[in-house]
Structure 1
């Protein structure tokens, strides 16, 4: 492409799919509709959850569902107050604890949250669990999966998506979704988000958990504990995330700001 064509292509992409992230205002590329994202992700999630072994711990399962629903309720209240009530229809919240030793958790679009028992071994309170679930809910609210799919579509299909290929968009979305979500190829493991997405989810998650009545001050100690587990090894949940030190320093910076979200 000539430089002029590249600039035109970039401009058209922006016009076709420009959105902004709640709470941060960061501009993002969203070429895929919410309906398309939810449909493609729900298929993979349902396939996974049918074979996953749910936890038999009634107390820990109840904890995951309790904290999850409280954060979900706070999230929906925020969306209503921010004039984004239409976004609420995109969520059908579900919180599952899975019998798996991984120190991990993930969220699919639409609010499908999975927490592994391995992570629960490090959780000592609802507040600590809220750090993780708030982070995962933030990924869904920020539409990080949509943005990741859109970036891959733009890179893989180029200017085709601005031409006749738009009529084949469903096929394109289906093709990209398998790579983006990863559940088909990697049992219960969401492929890594970018560092920008992860730090944004940290920030938004802290706000959402605070709105839900949980104490964000525990987040620093919790991430330090996560980092130190397994003899200093890096748990799966943090292996694709920003470095421990970077994450904790960023969290410390925003903690004073969170006071305004305390009810």
Structure 2
């Protein structure tokens, strides 16, 4: 069992050492881009079958307009060809991007974004997850965590360790709050940074990303303490985005792109 654990740790070290995120963070990536693209495409097709798609031409045109300014600035290594954009008719305050060039926007989030710049912050953030291969990293880290629990359980059983169930439960909590959740918060922060840079070079004022999260904070609702959450607090995000403006304001000033996407009135979903 020790040999299995050593082999697992050795594999982790090799993979992590060979993979680096766009911000220079070491990553754990077990899957190929083609595998993730296939998963993303399959998931997106299933969502289109199960969820209501908006038929509002003005709303769709607005979301497509913003996306058309953002995606040309994404490296073709991330996705070759057109990005598919679908607006889902739902009051959910949400959006997402998937490997394989798929973007979903819920009409609910359009009631929070006041203008094209704030929607660009959302789309830039979601595409940032794809650029940084966060889906791959989360899947890989989850698989490694499960493998570690299996190895630990087998080792304890072989040694007849007392309170094995309690110890495994504690190990599971440790992985959840010590590894997987911080991974999630690191991903969100990284996507914020990548998204702000992406919107700036695409001609959208990066200060709108700060205003966006100020608007998000006003939505209310009880939020768990940051330690117990996969997402940073709104204020943490605002502070981080404000700090990064020192880099993105000059990028925006140097951009020759002048987006012309006008937000229409957003009807309430049924």
Instruction: Check whether TM > 0.5.
Output: yes
| Deviation, structure 1 residue 5 | 6.4
Mapping of residues 1-263 of structure 1, within 5 Å: 1-2=1-2, 6=5, 8-16=7-15, 18-22=18-22, 24-75=23-74, 79=75, 85-89=76-80, 92-158=82-148, 194-229=184-219, 232-233=220-221, 241-262=231-252, 263=255
Q: Aligned equivalents of 1:37 and 1:117: distance in 2?
A: 26
Matched-pair contact (CA < 8 Å) for 1:227–1:234: no
Q: Aligned equivalents of 2:119 and 2:126: distance in 1?
A: 11
Matched-pair contact (CA < 8 Å) for 1:19–1:28: yes
Matched-pair contact (CA < 8 Å) for 2:206–2:249: no
Q: Aligned equivalents of 1:118 and 1:16: distance in 2?
A: 39
**C-alpha distance 72-234 of structure 1, shift in aligned 2 (>3 A):** farther
Number of aligned residue pairs: give it: 218
TM-score when normalising by structure 2: 0.73
Q: Aligned equivalents of 2:44 and 2:79: distance in 1?
A: 20
| Structure 1 runs of 4+ with >6 Å offset | none
Deviations 1:155-186 (A, max 9, x none): 223599xxxxxxxxxxxxxxxxxxxxxxxxxx
Matched-pair contact (CA < 8 Å) for 2:79–2:101: no
**C-alpha distance 86-100 of structure 1, shift in aligned 2 (>3 A):** closer
Q: Aligned equivalents of 2:231 and 2:113: distance in 1?
A: 19
Matched-pair contact (CA < 8 Å) for 2:38–2:100: no
Tell me which moved more, 47-56 or 111-120: 47-56
**C-alpha distance 60-217 of structure 1, shift in aligned 2 (>3 A):** same
TM-score when normalising by structure 1: 0.74
| Deviation, structure 1 residue 246 | 0.9
Matched-pair contact (CA < 8 Å) for 2:19–2:28: yes
Aligned to 2:19, the other structure's residue is in SS state: strand
**C-alpha distance 197-156 of structure 1, shift in aligned 2 (>3 A):** same
Deviations 1:25-82 (A, max 9, x none): 211011111111111222122111123211122112111111112111012xxx3xxx
Q: Aligned equivalents of 1:87 and 1:217: distance in 2?
A: 26
| Deviation, structure 1 residue 244 | 1.1
Structure 2 unaligned blocks of 5 or more: 151-181, 224-228, 256-270
Q: Aligned equivalents of 1:209 and 1:233: distance in 2?
A: 28
| Deviation, structure 1 residue 261 | 2.1
Aligned to 2:235, the other structure's residue is in SS state: helix
**C-alpha distance 100-234 of structure 1, shift in aligned 2 (>3 A):** farther
